Amino acid sequence: MFRTALTRFQNKWKSYRHRFVPWVALNLSRNEKTLRKVTERSKDKLVPDAEVSRSLLQLFRVLLGSHGADHGQLRALQNHFLGQVTSEEDKCGGNSVCGDDAMLQSLGFCLDRQPSSLPSAGTGVFVTKGCVPKGATVAMYPGTVYQAYEPILLQSIRNPFVFRCIDGVLVDGNDKGISKMVFKSCSGRDRMGPFIMSDTSWLTSTPQNPLAVGQYVNNCSYETPANVCYQEYDVPNNFPIRLRQYLPNVNYSHEAQRPLRCVVLVSLRDITAGEELFSNYFTIVN
């Protein structure tokens, strides 16, 4: 009985550790290949925030255009709410484009969740079409954003999807259980008139924003070096209101005064179709 329970725990841990932040932190010094050192938060960026914004806007506009034919009445209501049409956002046509096609069309590659190539690692993320160039925004880490002082104890229990930013901000990327309920509640709370301010479809098996799979990217190892890394990204205030519906993050507190924190994954090299994504972590050094 005890041996069976121990075996079950060991198998669970082998999968859990690939994303469990405390385990990663304890093992960083044992594997320098998993660690990217930065001297301060502003130095964690491989590409400028403006480049991340450009990539997201490029994809989101294609997604918005593909939904135009289906959401005509809502778009008319949104235009009335704004008082005018933002021409750049409305250049998209009404052609039906699925998430993968939109991604391939706008970014040049597609992603998919599949069983990881790592033993006992569970789900991983693979490039299935096209080629990811070095420095591209490859994925987003979805979830509820908690400031360092906000409670997350219950949500964090047995949760391998809590990501810690350099400044202590936490992103809970779990798409099940209490984490799922919290995200849906916060997303519904933040709606602005006819405008949806965040995307809840990442909680399903078919996210409308195909980038929102970053929580399933496994950590690198000695045998599987990193090809992507995390980069913190604060959504600028001028981010188009119509396109916020594709952001897979929401603040836990409605009173949060700072910009919405997102975490993206940026490619460290060219990545070709068939490759699995493996990430590394950064740490502040003096």
CA atoms of 228 and 206, how far apart (whole Å): 23
Mean pLDDT of 118-125: 90
pLDDT at 140: 98
Of 184, 208, 264, whose CA–CA distance to 174 is shortest?
Answer: 184
What percentage of the chain exceeds 90 in pLDDT?
56
- pLDDT for 203 beyond 90: yes
- pLDDT for 21 beyond 70: no
Phi, psi of 23 (to 5 degrees): -65, -40
The structural domains of the chain, with segments of one domain joined by +, span: 2-279
pLDDT, tens digit, 9 for 90 and up, residues 212-267? 999 999 998 888 899 999 999 999 999 999 999 999 999 999 876 789 999 999 99
Phi, psi of 116 (to 5 degrees): -65, 150
Which residues touch 8 (CB under 8 Å, ≥6 apart)?
none
CA distances from 243 to 58, 181, 206, 236, 256 (A): 10, 23, 18, 12, 20
- pLDDT for 281 beyond 90: no
pTM for this predicted structure: 0.79
* Domain topology for 2-279: Beta-clip-like (2.170.270)
CA atoms of 82 and 27, how far apart (whole Å): 51
pLDDT, tens digit, 9 for 90 and up, residues 178-198? 999 999 999 999 888 888 999
CA atoms of 27 and 164, how far apart (whole Å): 16
pLDDT at 277: 98
pLDDT tier, 96 (very low <50, low <70, confident <90, very high otherwise): very low
Mean pLDDT of 108-125: 93
pLDDT tier, 75 (very low <50, low <70, confident <90, very high otherwise): low
pLDDT, tens digit, 9 for 90 and up, residues 255-278? 767 899 999 999 999 999 999 999
